[in-house]
């Protein structure tokens, strides 16, 4: 087996609000949204990778802990932008949808980054790597 992740599934409280955020705030492709399911939505992204948004009450029924009350904060999703300007554009777009920025945009030795949350508090790091591969 070649190690690869094909899907990441996020539990969301309000499916329509989350679809709106990912489609309009992050610019995820609406072409990939698969209709016909009221409990989840799948965005088809590059390299045969998909982000699935699953209505929380239906998602929990599929897990080993269906009575879980905590939302997960045990991971950070990351997106690599092409430039500092693109990082700032993504931040601005996401903020139009009332998202929370975590800390400030930062210049780091390796690049430029900002952290934000989606409607359910899932954390995203938007980064622009500025070091070269030969570093």
**Whole-prediction pTM:** 0.78
**pLDDT tens for residues 5-43?**
899 999 999 999 999 999 998 989 877 666 666 788 889
Phi, psi of 95 (to 5 degrees): -65, -25
**Domains contained in the chain, CATH given:** 7-129 (3.10.180.10)
Token pair listed for 36 = 């016909």
Evaluate the CA torsion angle 82, 88, 92, 98 in order and state its sign. Answer: positive
**pLDDT tens for residues 114-131?**
999 998 888 999 999 986
**What integer pLDDT is reported at residue 121 of this predicted model?**
86
How far apart, in whole angstroms, are the C-alpha atoms of residue 76 and residue 84?
A: 20
């Amino acid at each position: 087996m070649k190690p690869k992740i094909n899907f990441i599934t996020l539990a969301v409280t309000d499916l329509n609000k989350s679809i709106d955020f990912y489609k309009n705030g992050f610019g995820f492709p609406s072409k990939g949204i698969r209709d016909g399911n009221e409990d989840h939505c799948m965005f088809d992204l590059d390299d045969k990778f998909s982000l699935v948004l699953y209505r929380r009450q239906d998602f929990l029924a599929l897990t080993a802990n269906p009575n879980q009350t905590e939302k997960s904060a045990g991971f950070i999703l990351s997106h690599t932008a092409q430039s500092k300007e693109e990082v700032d554009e993504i931040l601005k777009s996401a903020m139009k949808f009332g998202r929370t920025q975590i800390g400030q945009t930062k210049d780091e030795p390796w690049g430029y980054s900002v952290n934000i949350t989606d409607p359910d508090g899932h954390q995203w790091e938007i980064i622009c790597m500025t070091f070269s591969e030969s570093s």
